[in-house]
Amino acid sequence: MAFNKILTKNTICLHLKGVNKQEIIDELLDMLVAAGKVEDKAAALSAVMEREGKMSTGMKHGIAIPHGKTDSVSDLVACIGISDNPVNFEALDGEPCRIFIMTLSPLEKTGPHLQFLAEISLLFKSQEKRAEMLKAGSPEDILRTLSE
């Protein structure tokens, strides 16, 4: 999957301000709304929070992948946020998170959503990639790291 077709410099934030799960999710959704990727923030928020209610999307190694399926998007959309400070996201390993990748997809399209989640998960198993993301100085640095 070509991340540069889904992610743009307008869907990458290097300094998230949120200090908890709800604030981070809101901030990521605001980025997608501002980029014109999400039509209905309330519906998207409901989908993401419903998914979080089933099981936290805080993974391992400081990464969280909040996601959901909603009619407020017509195709798979995604954004990335990096937090300067660790945030408790109820991760599987109990560690706080600093890298957040949000993805939303339409209710009827499962394939691209699952492929994106699988590829992101594989990509971030690399400690080197995670370190590059955390030290990125620009959205372009993030895009370059993802394409290498």
Q: Is residue 39 part of a domain?
A: yes
Whether residue 55 is contained in a domain is answered as yes
With respect to residue 54, please indicate whether it lies within any of the assigned structural domains. Answer: yes
Q: What is the extent of the structural domain holding 74? A: 3-143
Instruction: State the pTM of this model.
Output: 0.93
* Percent above pLDDT 70 for the chain: 97
Q: Is 15 a catalytic residue?
A: no
Domain total for the chain? 1
pLDDT tens per residue across span 92-137: 899 999 999 999 999 887 677 778 877 777 777 889 989 999 999 9
Q: Is residue 148 part of a domain?
A: no
Catalytic option among 15, 61, 67, 113: 67
Residues in the chain: 148
The answer to whether residue 72 sits within a structural domain is yes
- The answer to the question of residue 23 being in a domain is yes
Strands 77-87 and 12-16, bridge-based pairing: parallel
Name 10's Cβ contacts closer than 8 Å, sequence gap at least 6: 31, 34, 35, 139
Task: Pick the closest to residue 51 from 116, 103, 121, 109 (CA basis).
Answer: 103
The pLDDT value recorded for residue 125 is 81
Residue 16 domain-assigned?
A: yes
Q: Which helix (H) or strand (E) holds 81?
A: strand 77-87
Among positive and negative, which fits the CA dihedral 10, 15, 17, 23? Answer: positive
For residue 36, give every residue at least 6 positions away whose Cβ sits within 8 Å of its Cβ, in sequence order, or none.
none
Flag whether pLDDT at 6 surpasses 60. yes
Question: What confidence category does residue 142 fall into, taking pLDDT thresholds of 50, 70 and 90?
Answer: very high
Specify the CATH number for the domain of residue 26: 3.40.930.10
**Domain-located, residue 119:** yes
Confidence of residue 25 (pLDDT cuts 50, 70, 90): very high
How many Å apart are CA 45 and CA 130, to the nearest integer? 26
β-strand partners of 13: 81
